[in-house]
Amino acid sequence: MADEPQPETPKERWDRNFADLLQELRVAQTGVQILFAFLLTLPFSNGFPRTTEFQRDVYMVSLLSAAAATAMIIAPVAFHRALFRQGRKPELVRFGHRMATGGLAFLLISMVSAVLLITDFILSRTVAIIVSGIAALFFITFWAALPWSRRDWGEPDATEAEITRRREHPEDFEKPTDQ
């Protein structure tokens, strides 16, 4: 009979959580940097002087929220450098999670603002607002509503009773903070 896999230690869990977080940040960072670069070059394009005051305001919202998203998504790297080899991985993972979540929120604002800016430039204001609202709903659905609705799925092999217990008594499943 094969040896059963050993459950991971708290240190191994924090290391895995940190590696997972870094992989997620790599994906998000690429998207936010491309959007930010596009927004940085936009004022230098030939058509930008034809924008309305509303469009320039939307541009500023998009640009500043992309800058905030960039800062927040890259922040865990700087935090890691500051805490390197200090045995504070749990703190780093929790901070990184908060920064990634905030960065994605700012990225959502920037993406929807960019959609509004471009659609308002080429279509009527009413159509632009409708299209941007649909884009916002799309992002909110896939980045927030679906993940939050699935938070209590439990572990892959968990029984319905275990999932229910996890939902009703989350304190029994919290990770220790003194590791």
Residue of 120, 123, 110, 92 lying closest to 17 (CA atoms):
92
Q: What is the pLDDT of residues 91-106, one digit of tens each?
A: 887 888 888 889 999 9
Place of tokens 């940190």: 18
110 exposure class (CB count in 10 Å sphere: 0-12, 13-18, 19+): buried
Q: CA 176, 177, 179 angle in degrees (round to 5)?
A: 85
Cα dihedral 126→131→134→140 (10° resolution): -110
Q: What's CA 164's distance to the chain center, in Å?
A: 28
Cα Rg, the chain, nearest whole Å: 21
Predicted model pTM: 0.73
Please, are residues 74 and 29 in contact by the beta-carbon 8 Å criterion?
yes
Residue of 40, 28, 38 lying closest to 69 (CA atoms):
28
Residue of 128, 126, 129, 132 lying closest to 109 (CA atoms):
132
Is pLDDT at 179 greater than 50 in this prediction?
no
- Please tell me which of 22-36, 47-61, 81-95 the model is most confident about, judged by mean pLDDT: 47-61
Decide which of 79 and 136 is more confident. Answer: 136
Place of tokens 């499943």: 173
Q: What is the pLDDT of residues 130-140, one digit of tens each?
A: 999 999 999 99
Q: How confident is the model at residue 157 (pLDDT cuts 50, 70, 90)?
A: low
